[in-house]
Amino acid sequence: MIVSFVSGKGGIGKSMIAANVAYGLAKNLPDKDVILISADVSARTSELLISSFEKKYGWIEYLKSNLLPEEILAPSNLLDNLYIVYSSKNSLTLHGEFPDHMIPHVARKILMFKNFFKDKIIIIDAPAGKTKDHALYCLYFEPVLVTTPMDADLEGTKLFKKAIENRARMIGIKSNVWKGVIINKVVKPREEILKVVQALNITNVIGWVPADRCLEKISGIHYDRCQRLREYFDRIIENLFNVKLKKKKSFSLFDMIRKFYNFKSKKI
Ligand SMILES: Nc1ncnc2c1ncn2[C@@H]1O[C@H](COP(=O)(O)OP(=O)(O)OP(=O)(O)O)[C@@H](O)[C@H]1O
Ligand SMILES: [Mg+2]
């Protein structure tokens, strides 16, 4: 399964969500391999979130050359079943838009990666924008729109959604390409979720994440550090990958203690 987190504008929170969801998923499903692809060369934030021991060639080199999928896969140093594909080995790479003649090659390489790792869960932190190569991340995978409820961002998401749907129609893919929407930086949940659903005409809200000071600085994975935020990531994971996550340990320990005391009090 391949899910891509996409948005029209930058700074929406794609990388933060992609990294925490990839980590949370790998942690909860130790028997499943999870690959996080950082396809976003300009921001490279997933690389700040999950560092690896060994810096390999990245996604952009893979798309541009004859490298094989396994040559760009690097283990994360966080979990045994979590892997990362860097955006680029060279920190100065700026690829901009792929020229038209390269699009079929890029498409082939993306599909090759998808087929090569078809038993693994792949999460793509896609670049922001609506150019032809960006559209591939929507049309060939299960795209999840990431937006904030702020007017300017929402307007950008609307334009992006429309552009992708037009491109889908042009190449004969059904126009409803979206797996759903994730809303980030939410302040007033009720009001803002409704606002997004109405503006985008997407009813499948996969989840939302509150605006939280803890998330303002990208400084590693928040999943383990912040219990109140983990619940939001868990809900996204459950809805997106159709899995039921285990009860939290602390919760079951609490249950055990309660049962023990009930038992004792009955005896007395
Ligand atoms: N829910 C949140 N609350 C507060 N700050 C957040 C939240 N989500 C993300 N941020 C902050 O917003 C900024 C942008 O986040 P992030 O880099 O994940 O966005 P992005 O969509 O990947 O951007 P780009 O397209 O430029 O790569 C970061 O500084 C991040 O720490
Ligand atoms: Mg990013």
Note the ligand closest to the C-alpha atom of 129. 1
Q: Is the pLDDT of residue 129 over 90?
A: no
pLDDT attached to residue 122: 97
Residues 6+ apart with CB under 8 A from 89: 55, 56, 57, 58, 61
Per-residue confidence band for 265, with pLDDT thresholds at 50, 70 and 90: low
The residues lining ligand 1, judged by C-beta closer than 6 Å to any ligand atom, are 7, 10-16, 40, 43, 45, 128, 184-185, 209, 211-212, 215-218
Tokens for 38, please give them: 């950082």
pTM metric for this prediction: 0.89
Cα(209) to centroid(ligand 1), Å: 11
Note the ligand closest to the C-alpha atom of 215. 1
Please indicate whether residue 84 or residue 258 has the higher confidence score (pLDDT): 84
Cα(14) to centroid(ligand 1), Å: 7
Residue 105: Cβ-neighbour burial (10 angstroms; 0-12, 13-18, 19+): middle
Number of domains in the chain: 1
Residue range of the domain that includes 10: 2-267
Note the ligand closest to the C-alpha atom of 185. 1
Residue of 144, 149, 231 whose CA lies nearest to 183: 149
Q: Is the pLDDT of residue 268 over 50?
A: no
Q: Which CATH number do you get for residue 71?
A: 3.40.50.300
Cα(215) to centroid(ligand 1), Å: 8
